[in-house]
């Protein structure tokens, strides 16, 4: 009976009576063919609009013939180095400012987000004011304001503010002491400095392992084992002991003023500082709201249970609230990190030579706009994928190991 109901008179299936456009498979094929046709037409139009000019990246191997500022840890000469080299210097400049901004924005976001939930009226309202001002103001405007404050609001290099012969502040930026590899007390080779930095990395790994072990003991016994204090002490002992055993292979290079610029130490120029500050407060304001919402999304019973077993406010925050809220924060915070990476392209407004600014100079000098902007797109995609991949690793670890 069922078979007869599914068949039309004469043995034809019921689907044969359905119009072609009402069949799901036919509609799917129609949409896919239309998409392919539109893509091909768009490609043909782009190729025809660009004309018959030749394309290639051979121009990147030619001398750059211009110089850039804000260099750090690079040795670059614009007259002899290639355009590819100067572009990579711009990429390094972008990585520097984005890395600093992400680190500081995370710290600002956590502090302000927790402050938004403070029982103190003044603290809570001040945090809310911070969020509302910096989240609702264009990032470009913030960067220009910071740049104007640092450039025109600070004293000139002639009236530099000197704090203990270690910190110098003027409209040329701030100069701070910086590690300087040198021959140690024992007259050892220069590679001892590298050995000490490697020892610091090993000490950090050991300290993190000690912290994880003591946190595991806390979960098993219920007794507070001071994991952070013990980990920091372990790292300090390893760092201090290795520094003495290697004969103090690294010294401190204090900044000085030579003419109209800083010498020695490390100088943070207004261009870098203004862009980093703008990205920090702008991204930090968004992260603060993510932190606040993630904490409020936790069941109230978690905090009540932590109070019942006698945990202090700091312990409740670091051991109960933030570890659980972290799982909800990471996806949204990852989006803010990606936005900070892309927003760094406003560096042109404060004369900071990031990858976009350097690529624009190259394009203005020699043309090849299509190739240059293709290179810009690929670079930003690669940087974004790296950030996303690292945050996915963090998210996987938190999801697997936090309870």
Please report, for the chain, the start and end positions of each structural domain, with discontinuous segments joined by +: 2-46, 53-137+264-403
CA-CA distance, 142 to 135, in Å (whole number)?
Answer: 10
* pLDDT tens for each residue of the chain, 403 residues long: 445 445 555 555 555 566 766 777 788 888 899 999 999 999 888 777 776 667 777 888 887 777 776 666 666 766 677 888 888 888 999 999 999 999 999 999 999 999 998 889 999 999 999 999 999 999 999 999 999 988 888 888 888 888 887 888 888 888 888 887 776 665 566 677 788 889 999 999 999 999 989 888 887 887 778 888 999 999 999 999 988 888 888 878 888 888 778 887 788 888 999 999 999 999 999 999 999 998 888 887 777 787 787 777 777 887 788 888 888 899 999 999 999 999 999 998 898 888 999 889 888 888 788 888 989 999 999 999 999 999 999 888 887 544 4
Q: How far is CA 77 from CA 5, 169, 206, 266, 329, in A?
A: 83, 28, 41, 20, 43
The residue among 311, 296, 324, 313 whose CA lies nearest residue 120 is 313
Pairing state between β 178-181 and 250-253: antiparallel
Q: How far is CA 246 from CA 190, 243, 363, in A?
A: 11, 5, 49
Residue found by looking up tokens 């000139």 in the block = 156
Residues 6+ apart with CB under 8 A from 258: none
The residue among 364, 168, 331 whose CA lies nearest residue 253 is 168
First to last CA, the chain: 57
DSSP string, 217-260: HHHHH-----HHHHHHHHHHHHHHHHHHHTT--EEEE--EEETT
Q: Are 51 and 326 in contact (CB under 8 A)?
A: no
Torsion angle defined by CA atoms of residues 56, 60, 63 and 67, in that order, rounded to the nearest 10 degrees: 130
Element (H, E) at 263: strand 261-263
CA-CA distance, 37 to 318, in Å (whole number)?
Answer: 56
What CATH superfamily is the domain 53-137+264-403?
MetI-like (1.10.3720.10)
Task: Phi first, then psi: give them for residue 173, nearest 5 degrees.
Answer: 110, -170
Q: What is the pLDDT of residue 102?
A: 96
Angle at 378 between CA 376 and CA 380, to 5 degrees: 70
Q: What is the pLDDT of residue 403?
A: 44
Which two structure tokens, joined as six digits, stand for 200? 């610091």
Q: What is the pLDDT of residue 351?
A: 86
Residue found by looking up tokens 């920090």 in the block = 280
Angle at 229 between CA 225 and CA 230, to 5 degrees: 70
Residues 6+ apart with CB under 8 A from 135: 282, 285, 286, 289
Residue found by looking up tokens 């930090």 in the block = 284
- Rg of the Cα trace of the chain? 29
Which two structure tokens, joined as six digits, stand for 88? 């990579």
């Amino acid at each position: 009976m069922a078979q007869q109901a599914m068949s039309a008179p004469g043995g034809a299936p019921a689907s044969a009576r359905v119009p072609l456009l009402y069949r799901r498979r036919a509609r799917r094929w129609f949409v896919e063919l239309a998409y392919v046709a539109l893509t091909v037409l768009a490609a043909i139009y782009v190729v025809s609009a660009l004309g018959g000019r030749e394309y290639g990246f051979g121009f990147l191997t030619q001398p750059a013939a211009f110089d850039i500022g804000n260099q750090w840890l690079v040795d670059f000469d614009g007259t002899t180095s290639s355009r590819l080299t100067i572009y990579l210097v711009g990429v390094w400049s972008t990585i520097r400012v984005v890395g600093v901004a992400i680190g500081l924005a995370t710290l600002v976001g956590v502090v302000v987000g927790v402050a938004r939930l403070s029982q103190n009226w003044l603290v809570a309202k001040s945090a809310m004011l911070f969020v509302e001002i910096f989240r609702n103001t264009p990032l470009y405007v913030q960067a220009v304001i910071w740049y104007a404050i640092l450039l025109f609001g600070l004293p000139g290099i002639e009236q530099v503010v000197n704090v203990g012969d270690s910190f110098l502040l003027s409209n040329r930026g701030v100069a701070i002491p910086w590690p300087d590899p040198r021959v140690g007390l024992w007259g050892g080779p220069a590679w001892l400095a590298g050995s000490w930095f490697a020892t610091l990395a090993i000490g950090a790994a050991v300290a993190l392992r000690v912290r994880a072990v003591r946190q595991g003991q806390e979960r098993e016994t219920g007794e507070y084992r001071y994991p952070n204090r013990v980990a920091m002490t372990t790292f300090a002992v390893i760092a201090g002991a290795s520094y003495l055993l290697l004969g103090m292979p690294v010294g401190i290079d204090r900044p000085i003023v030579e003419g109209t610029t800083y010498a020695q130490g490390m100088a943070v120029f207004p261009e870098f500082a203004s862009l980093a500050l703008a990205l920090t407060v702008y991204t930090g304001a968004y992260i603060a709201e993510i932190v606040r919402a993630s904490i409020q999304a936790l069941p109230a019973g978690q905090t009540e249970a932590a109070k019942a077993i006698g945990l202090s406010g700091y312990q409740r925050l670091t051991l109960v609230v933030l570890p659980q809220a972290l799982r909800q924060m990471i996806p949204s915070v990852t989006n803010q990190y990606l936005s900070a990476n892309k927003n760094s392209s406003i560096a042109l407004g404060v004369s900071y030579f990031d990858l976009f600014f350097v690529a624009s100079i190259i394009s203005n000098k020699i043309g090849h706009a299509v190739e240059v902007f293709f290179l810009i797109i690929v670079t930003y995609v690669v940087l974004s994928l790296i950030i996303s991949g690292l945050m996915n690793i963090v998210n996987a670890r938190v999801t697997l190991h936090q309870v």
